[in-house]
A and B are shown apart, each in its own frame.
Chain A
Amino acid sequence: MRTLVLPPHHYLNDGYGIKSWLLTRDHKRIALLYLAAITFFFFLGGSFAVLIRLELVTPPGDLVSDETYNKLFTMHGVIMVFFFLIPSIPSTLGNFLVPLMIGAKDLAFPKLNLASWYIYVLGGLFTIYALVTGGVDTGWTFYTPYSTVSSTTSVIPAAMGIFITGFSSILTGLNFIVTIHRMRAPGMTWFRMPLFLWSIYATSLIMVLGTPVLAITMLLVAAERVLHFGFFDPALGGDPVLFQHLFWFYSHPAVYIMVLPSMGVVSEIVAAFCRKQIFGYKFVAFASMAIAVLGFLVWGHHLYVAGESVYAAMIFSALSFMVAIPSAVKVFNWTATMYKGSISWKTPMLYAMGFIGLFTIGGLTGLFIAAVGFDVHVTDTYFIIAHFHYIMVGGALMGYLGGLHYWWPKISGRLYPESLAKLSAGIIFLGFNLTFFPQFILGYLGMPRRYHAYPPEFQVLNVLSSAGASILGVGYLIPMAYLMWSLRYGKIAGANPWGASGLEWTTTSPPPTENFAETPIVTEEPYTYPLRAEAHLG
Chain B
Amino acid sequence: MAEIVHPSPALAHQFDNLEQQKEASTLGMWVFLTTEVLFFGGLFVTYCIYRLWYPAAFAAGSREMLIWAGATNTAVLITSSLTMALAVHAAQTGNRRLLMSFLIVTMLLGCVFLGIKAFEYHTEFAEHHVPGAAFEFQPQALRQNAQLFFSLYFVMTGLHALHMIIGLGLMSFMLWWAWNGTITKEYYNPIEVSGLYWHFVDIVWIFLFPLLYLIGRHV
Give me the interface of A with B, judged by CB distance under 8 Å.
99, 104-110, 170, 174-175, 177-179, 181-183, 208-213, 215-217, 219-220, 223, 227-231, 236-239, 242, 246, 519
- Of the 9-residue stretches B43-51, B77-85, B183-191, which lies at the interface with chain A? B43-51
- Is residue B71 within 8 Å, beta carbon to beta carbon, of the partner chain? no
| Contact flag A236-B144 (CB < 8 Å), given A108-B24, A182-B23, A183-B24 | yes
Residues of chain A with a CB closer than 8 A to B16's CB = 519
- Is residue B121 within 8 Å, beta carbon to beta carbon, of the partner chain? no
- Of the 9-residue stretches B99-107, B148-156, B163-171, B195-203, which lies at the interface with chain A? B148-156
Residues of chain B with a CB closer than 8 A to A216's CB = 39-40, 42-43
**By the criterion CB–CB under 8 Å, are B131 and A178 in contact?**
no
Residues of chain B with a CB closer than 8 A to A217's CB = 42
Partner of A236, one of B15, B35, B147: B147
Residues of chain B with a CB closer than 8 A to A212's CB = 35-36, 38-39, 41-42
Among A104, A175, A220, the one with the most B-chain Cβ atoms within 10 Å of its Cβ is A220
Docked pose: A364 CA to B190 CA in angstroms: 49
Among B12, B14, B20, the one with the most A-chain Cβ atoms within 10 Å of its Cβ is B14
- Is residue B137 within 8 Å, beta carbon to beta carbon, of the partner chain? no
Docked pose: A99 CA to B154 CA in angstroms: 43
Proximity string of chain B (103-144) to chain A, C-beta cutoff 8 Å, 1 when within and 0 when not: 000000000000000000000000000011100000000001
**By the criterion CB–CB under 8 Å, are B132 and A228 in contact?**
yes
Docked pose: A219 CA to B42 CA in angstroms: 11
| Contact flag A220-B155 (CB < 8 Å), given A104-B14, A242-B49 | yes
Partner of A170, one of B24, B35, B152: B35
**By the criterion CB–CB under 8 Å, are A106 and B38 in contact?**
no
Among A178, A181, A242, the one with the most B-chain Cβ atoms within 10 Å of its Cβ is A178
- Is residue B32 within 8 Å, beta carbon to beta carbon, of the partner chain? yes
Closest CB of chain A to B63's CB: distance in Å? 18
Count A-B pairs with CB separation below 8 Å: 106
The residues in B between 18 and 38 inclusive whose CB is less than 8 angstroms from any CB of A are 20, 23-25, 27-28, 31-32, 34-36, 38
Closest CB of chain B to A115's CB: distance in Å? 13
Residues of chain A with a CB closer than 8 A to B40's CB = 216
Task: Tell me the interface secondary structure of chain A in the complex.
Answer: helix
- Is residue B145 within 8 Å, beta carbon to beta carbon, of the partner chain? yes
Closest CB of chain A to B160's CB: distance in Å? 13
**By the criterion CB–CB under 8 Å, are A182 and B54 in contact?**
no
Task: Tell me the interface secondary structure of chain B in the complex.
Answer: helix
**By the criterion CB–CB under 8 Å, are A220 and B46 in contact?**
yes
Partner of A237, one of B12, B35, B148: B148
Extra contacts besides A105-B13, A216-B42, A229-B151 (5): CB < 8 Å: A104-B14, A108-B24, A213-B39, A227-B131, A519-B16
Residues of chain B with a CB closer than 8 A to A177's CB = 27, 31
Closest CB of chain A to B8's CB: distance in Å? 17
Docked pose: A209 CA to B39 CA in angstroms: 9
Docked pose: A382 CA to B20 CA in angstroms: 51
Residues of chain B with a CB closer than 8 A to A99's CB = 14
22 sampled A-B residue pairs with Cβ under 8 A? A104-B14, A108-B15, A108-B24, A174-B32, A178-B24, A181-B24, A182-B24, A183-B14, A209-B34, A209-B38, A212-B35, A213-B39, A217-B42, A219-B155, A227-B131, A227-B132, A228-B131, A231-B46, A237-B50, A238-B50, A239-B49, A246-B45
Can you name the residue of chain B whose Cβ is closest to the Cβ of A207? B35
Among A108, A170, A236, the one with the most B-chain Cβ atoms within 10 Å of its Cβ is A108
Docked pose: A217 CA to B148 CA in angstroms: 16
Residues of chain A with a CB closer than 8 A to B54's CB = 237
Docked pose: A231 CA to B155 CA in angstroms: 11
Residues of chain A with a CB closer than 8 A to B14's CB = 99, 104-108, 110, 183
Docked pose: A26 CA to B152 CA in angstroms: 42
**By the criterion CB–CB under 8 Å, are A181 and B148 in contact?**
no
Can you name the residue of chain B whose Cβ is closest to the Cβ of A181? B27
Partner of B151, one of A108, A210, A213, A223: A223
Docked pose: A170 CA to B31 CA in angstroms: 10
Residues of chain B with a CB closer than 8 A to A182's CB = 20, 23-24, 27
Can you name the residue of chain B whose Cβ is closest to the Cβ of A213? B42
Residues of chain A with a CB closer than 8 A to B148's CB = 230-231, 236-238
Docked pose: A178 CA to B35 CA in angstroms: 14
**By the criterion CB–CB under 8 Å, are A242 and B46 in contact?**
yes
**By the criterion CB–CB under 8 Å, are A229 and B131 in contact?**
yes
**By the criterion CB–CB under 8 Å, are A246 and B42 in contact?**
yes
Docked pose: A211 CA to B12 CA in angstroms: 29
